[in-house]
Structures are given as structure tokens and as C-alpha cells.
Amino acid sequence: MILVFGKTGQVASELGLMKGVISLSRAEADLTNPAACSAAILAYKPAAVINAAAYTSVDKCEEEEEIAHVINGLAPSAMAKSCADLSIPIVHISTDYVFDGWGVTPFTVADVPSPLGAYGRTKLHGERGVMDSGAVYAILRTSWVFSEHGNNFVKTMIRLGKSQSVVSVVNDQIGGPTSARAIANAAMAIAIGLQGEPEKKGVYHFSGATDVSWAEFACKIFSLAQMDVAVREIPTSDYPTLAKRPLNSCLDCTELTKFDLERPDWISDLTDVLKKLGA
């Protein structure tokens, strides 16, 4: 049995559809109470843990960094320590936001993180807590998550496209759109793999291929949804937000070959998501 934290999140929603998974809601394991998360693991005694829960509102993290620190930093650390006590692996889903987005080449797992804001700082704290826990772990950094669940860029574009003929989207932030289903499949494969090959523990990058700008992503959404919407490309400077976004979110996913995983085709996944959304 695999224990999953984050029952209603995009990735956790996909994991919850899999056999042999028990997903914990906030009522069952409140991430603002790391001790409760630790206790849940010790109570269930699973074969592995996947932490797909996080405080993901990037801008709100700037205003509520203390809460985000507990959820993104302290809770995963507590989970990992319990996994170490039970000698079971943990897969912790992280983010491209641990990097500053400098340069144009994809970030490798060997690159030194340097987050721009509170979200990245708190997620990095969680990564380090997991690494220092003594558990067999995999940090799975991903980017630009989309699905038919929750709030995400695809659903926002579809909503805006129904009321606007022109939508402004930034064209100088580059990354790999990644479906929640693909992330869930990868996380499960890694969790199972680590049970038999703990020596494969470490940091991994996982994002959809190929890398595009948000504007290019939006164009493909409207094209596949057959919506007559024009995309006006703008620089990030024309779309100010409370938290700074990395311009370069490209991730080098080479290490995935250790688990026989490849970068997923996000266009194919997007087509499936749009069908489920009825778009």
C-alpha cells in the first residue's frame, strides 16, 4: 500500500485513482501539524509514501510564508523522518521554483538551487529536510502542472477564451508543461522502484517535452480546443505579480533513465485533459 498526502491536489487526485493507494485529506492529516503527518505514517505503516501536498499559491506564499514554511518545509521533513523509522521510501514532489530561472539551458539536478521567492524557499527547505532525514528518498521536481482537477493554466485559458477574443500571455517564461497524470505515474514508478533499489535515491527532474513559453502553451490550448482566440504575447514586465517567476523553468530530466522514465508528451496529455473538460 502506498500512502499519499494531498488528496484533492492535481497530482494526488490522479494518484487516488490508482490501485493500492490510500490518500489522506487535510482532515486526516493536517499539513499545518507536521506531527499529525508523522503519526499517520506510523499508524498506516505503508510500503512507501508519496507527498503530493503543498502550499502552491505562489503569490499568497509571499504574504503567508510562515504557514507555507510549515506545510512545504516542516511537514515533509517530519514525513521523511517517519519513513526513515519504518525503513520505507518517500517520494517528495517539488518544483522548478527552487531555481532562480537564470540562463537558457535546462537546470540539472547538480545545479545549486537559488529560489526567487517564498514558495521556492519553503519548497527548498522541505527538500533539504527530506534529504537529511535518513530516509530512502526521491525528490521529484516538476513544472507547469495541468490537469482537469483544481486550478491551473489550462482551465484558466479555457475560461478566459469563452469570454475574450484576445488573451494576453507572457512569452519570456519558458518551461515544460507537465500533466498531473504523468507526474503521478512517474512518482508511483519511482516509489515502487526505490523499494527494491534504494541505491537509486536522489533528486530527479520531470517535465513535459518539449519546452515552450506560456504564450506558446496557450496557443496550443486554444488550437486543440478549437477556440477562436488570439494570443497577444507580452513580456513578464507587463504582467506584474507579487512573487517573481523564473524566466527559465526548463529541467534536464536525464536522470529519469534510472527508472526507465522519459519526458512525457505534453501535447498528447493536453489533448486528453481537454476531452475530459469537454473543451
Global pTM exceeds 0.95: yes
pLDDT for position 23 = 96
The most distant pair of C-alpha atoms in the chain lies apart, rounded to whole Å, by 56
pLDDT at 26 (0 to 100): 86
CA distance linking residue 8 with residue 24, whole number of Å: 9
The single-letter DSSP state of residue 183 is H
Of 102, 172, 106, the residue nearest 141 (C-alpha): 106
**Is 119 a known active-site residue?**
yes
At residue 268, the pLDDT reads 98
Q: Which of 97, 119, 137, 204 is catalytic?
A: 119
Count of alpha carbons within 13 angstroms of residue 35, beta-carbon side: 0
**Burial letters 37-69, b for 16+ CB under 10 A, else e:** bbebbeebebebbbbbbbbbebebbbeebeebb
Mean pLDDT by 10 residues, the chain (279 residues): 95 96 92 96 97 96 98 98 98 98 97 98 98 98 97 97 97 98 98 98 98 98 98 96 97 97 98 95
